[in-house]
């Protein structure tokens, strides 16, 4: 591909919207499809064109997708009006940034490659705010030459793009990442409750933790939510449970023992069963506190999330 390729985008949810915006900001010509058209319409103010079905994007050079689940990926690619259902036109490359199973990814890859379309798995680590400040990271897998053609576009999304190998291995990388995310968040909730019940404010404890060797970009990022109990969703327990299930299924297939992940998955599943489906998964701290006989309240102090726009 020479010059700036034309881009199609499927899925304008919280994440997809921001990623498409990054491509528009970088000067790419982008056409967008979203199941609920109204969610994609604001992108027209940045120069995007909105279409009514995925197959209308078949004439684009590169089509990115970011949908919620494996069945959604198969639907937008292979179902009625799907991207790969046009008998005459197909894009040169499909790059899917969704968090889906390796099996669903392989199904779409086979269909794409049978039509001469390069296919990349390009799952990401981050959330809408992380994208907006240019700190998203990407894992990519598929044919190396396809990756090299698409890499400049992926670089617009954030600070790091890592080629991890052939086939579907990027799916495993992302699922492993999200399982770790869930385990760390549950542990962070528990130790924060421990400190508070001993008489330490959450702000003071997390300030200490973030400055220690155990602090991280993630613990810093979640500090405002844990201190001020602001659970505006960046990632819900419903999505976290899905990723735990994908990770544990992969572990069973590969013969990997994951006791901590199994226990945390059940905690998250219970949250979902109890109706905690709209709030951010940092709300796990409420259950940890309740189970410890602690009634926590927002501390209403100004704390940094560590994210600065570049």
Each residue's pLDDT tens digit, 176-200: 999 999 999 999 999 999 999 999 9
Tokens of 199: 């008489």
For domain 172-291, the question of CATH label 1.10.287.110 is answered with no
Task: Decide if 62 contacts 7 (C-beta within 8 A).
Answer: yes
Domain with CATH 3.40.50.720 in the chain: 7-167
d(CA 62, CA 220): 36
Q: What's the confidence (pLDDT) of residue 129?
A: 87
Task: Decide if 118 contacts 94 (C-beta within 8 A).
Answer: yes
Q: Kindly give, in sequence order, each residue whose CB lies less than 8 Å from that of residue 214, ignoring residues fewer than 6 positions away.
A: none
Contacts of residues 215-221 at CB distance under 8 Å and 24 or more positions apart, as own/partner, are 217/306, 218/181, 218/184, 219/184, 219/188, 220/304, 220/305, 220/306, 221/130, 221/305, 221/306, 221/307
Exposed, middle or buried: residue 95 (CB in 10 Å: 0-12, 13-18, 19+)? buried
Q: Are strands 7-10 and 49-50 parallel, antiparallel or unpaired?
A: unpaired
Low-confidence ranges of the chain (pLDDT < 50): 310
Domain with CATH 1.10.1040.10 in the chain: 172-291
> Residue 105: helix, strand or coil by DSSP?
helix
Q: What's the confidence (pLDDT) of residue 2?
A: 57
CATH node for 7-167: 3.40.50.720
d(CA 200, CA 206): 10
What is the phi-psi region of residue 236: left when phi exceeds 0, alpha when psi lies from -120 to 50, beta otherwise?
beta
Q: What's the confidence (pLDDT) of residue 310?
A: 43
């Amino acid at each position: 591909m020479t010059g700036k390729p034309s881009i199609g985008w499927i899925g304008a949810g919280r994440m997809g919207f921001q990623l498409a915006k990054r491509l528009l900001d970088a000067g790419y010509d982008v056409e967008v499809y979203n199941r609920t058209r109204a969610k994609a319409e604001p992108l027209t103010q940045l120069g995007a064109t909105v279409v009514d079905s995925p197959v209308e994007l078949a004439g684009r050079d590169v089509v990115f997708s970011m949908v919620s689940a494996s069945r959604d990926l198969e639907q937008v690619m292979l179902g009625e009006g799907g991207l790969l259902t046009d008998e005459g036109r197909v894009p040169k490359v499909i790059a899917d940034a969704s968090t889906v199973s390796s099996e669903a990814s392989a199904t779409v890859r086979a269909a794409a490659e049978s039509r001469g379309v390069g296919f990349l798995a390009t799952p990401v680590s981050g959330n809408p705010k992380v994208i907006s400040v240019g700190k998203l990271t990407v894992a990519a897998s598929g044919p190396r030459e396809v990756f090299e053609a698409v890499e400049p576009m992926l670089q617009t999304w954030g600070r790091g793009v890592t080629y991890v190998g052939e086939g579907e291995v990027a799916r495993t990388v992302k699922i492993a990442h999200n399982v770790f995310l869930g385990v760390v968040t549950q542990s962070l909730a528990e130790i924060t409750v421990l400190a508070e019940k001993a008489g330490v404010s959450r702000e003071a404890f997390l300030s200490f933790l973030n400055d220690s060797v155990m602090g991280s970009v993630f613990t810093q990022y979640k500090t405002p939510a844990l201190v001020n109990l602001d659970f505006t969703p960046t990632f819900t327990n419903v999505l976290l449970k899905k990723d735990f299930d994908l990770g544990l299924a992969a572990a069973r297939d590969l013969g990997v023992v994951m006791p901590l992940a199994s226990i945390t998955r059940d905690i998250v599943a219970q949250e979902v069963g109890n109706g905690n489906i709209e709030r951010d998964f940092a709300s796990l701290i409420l259950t940890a506190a309740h189970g410890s006989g602690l009634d926590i309240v927002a501390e209403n102090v100004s704390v940094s999330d560590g994210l600065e726009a570049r």
